[in-house]
Structure formats: structure tokens, C-alpha cells
Amino acid sequence: MKILITAFGPFDGRSENASSLVLRELKTAFPAIRSRILPVDSVIAPARLRQALRSIRPDALILLGEAAGSKTIRLETTAWNELDFKIPDIAGRHPVSRPIRTGSPASRRSTLPLAEIHQRLDAAGHPVSLSDDPGRYLCNQLFYLALEFLDPLAISCPAGFVHLPLARDYPTARAADALGHLIREIGC
């Protein structure tokens, strides 16, 4: 099974991103996963994701990001067709209250088996929650576009977004363990 996992690089003056730290650790435990670390750039990140989907044609897609202030691993249920950046991306773009795609649905739903993943993570002792608000920054944008990109590429696979607490709030090794459970739950 080909699994593609994406993470983000640093932004907002920080030198690291919890999602890319976890992805690097996951690559050690699961060397067969395909991965991409995407810049926090609202133009380049979607283009690189689409390119990765075309070339890899994954059987499962997991998008990772970090959520400052979160104390749980957040399984995002819904992506919203809205950009409303509180801070600019790394290229200085700062869209406010505008759609990601004009004329597209207001929301798109994760196709990951979220209830089963939640149960498995909870049973393994990880703080986990379901969330219907991935924010309106790049995490939401990439989540929304990923679900849109799959159909025209004729890729049918479970896909969704997971927000991780910052590394200082939840150790990278623990977060990687949680993602290992998620990977095993979806059959990898």
C-alpha cells in the first residue's frame, strides 16, 4: 500500500514545525511511506501536493500540520472553502475572507476512518479529539484542495488532515507513535 504523508516546514519565525519533526521520525519507523515537507506558502504548497499526488498515486493520504495551543491530536473532519489568514504565509500573502475555489462546495469531509482512528489512539493512551475547525490558514487550504485534487486524477483513497500539538507540548516521539497507530488503522 502506498501512503503519502505531508507535513509543513517552519513559519511565523519558528525554526521548526511539529509536523515535519514527526514525519521525519515516521520515516524511520515506516521507511516505505512516501513523504513531502511543504512550505507554508499558499501557492507553492498546493502545486507541490498536486504534483506528488500525480506521481505517487497513493492508496492513502495523510496531511499533517501543527496547532499551537492544542493539547490533543486533532483529527480534522471538515475542510472549509475559505481562506482567512491571521498571519501571512512565508511569501507574505495574507488573504482575508475569500473562498479557496469560487463556485466549489462550502466544505469537504475527511475520508479517513476517523471513528476507528480515534478509538485506536484513545486506547493507546494518546489525547485525541475530533475537530470540525482546521482554521482558515494553509492547513485548511491544503486539506480542502487535497480532497478536490483526487477526483480529476482518478485517485480513490482515504484522505484527511491531522493537527498535532507543538513539539514543546507533546513530545515528537509520542506524536510519531500516535501516527504509527493511525497508519496501521488504515491498513498500512
* The predicted structure's pLDDT at residue 38: 98
Structural domains in the chain plus CATH codes: 3-185 (3.40.630.20)
Name the residue among 45, 142, 41, 139 with its Cα closest to residue 92: 41
DSSP β-ladder status, 73-76 and 159-164? antiparallel
Residue 76 annotated among the catalytic residues of the structure: yes
Degrees to nearest 5, angle at CA 68 with 64 and 70: 85
C-alpha pair distances (Å), 40 with each of 1, 133, 151, 185: 28, 19, 24, 28
Catalytic residue among 66, 76, 82, 148: 76
**Annotated active-site residue in 66, 118, 126, 139:** 139
Has 139 been annotated as catalytic? yes
Question: pLDDT 10s digit of each residue in the chain, 188 long?
Answer: 899 999 999 998 889 999 999 999 999 999 999 999 999 999 999 999 999 999 999 999 999 999 999 999 999 999 999 999 999 999 999 999 999 999 999 999 999 999 999 999 999 999 999 999 999 999 999 999 999 999 888 889 999 999 999 999 999 999 999 999 999 999 76
